[in-house]
Structure 1
Amino acid sequence: MAGQDLDAERDAVIGALVPVVDGLVATFGPLCEVVLHDYRQPEKSVVAVAGSVTGRAVGGAMSEIGMRVLARGDEASDELNYLTRTRSGDLVKASTMVLRDSAGTVFGALCVNLDVTAVHRAQALLGGLAGLGAGTTRTPVTTFGNDIDSVVDAILDTHASHQAHNWAGLDRDRRLELFRSLDEHGVFAVRRAVEQVAARLGISRASAYSYLSQARAMADDPTSQGGHQ
Structure 2
Amino acid sequence: MRKTTVSPVKDLLLDRYAPIADGIAALFYPCAEVVIHDLRDQTIAYLVNNLSKLEVGGPSVLDEVHYAARGRTIGPYEKLNWDGRRMRCVSNILFDDEGKPAGMLCVNFNIAVFEDVRSTLDLFIKGGNLTDAPAEELFRDDWQDRINTFLHTWLRERQIGVNALTREHKREIVEALHAQGAFRGRSSANYVAAVLTMGRATVYKILKQMKEGG
- Relative contact order, higher structure (CA 8 A, sep 6+): 1
TM-score for both structures, normalised by structure 1: 0.45
Q: TM-score, normalised by structure 2?
A: 0.48
Kindly name which structure, 1 or 2, has the bigger radius of gyration based on alpha carbons. 2
- Which structure: greater helix fraction? 1
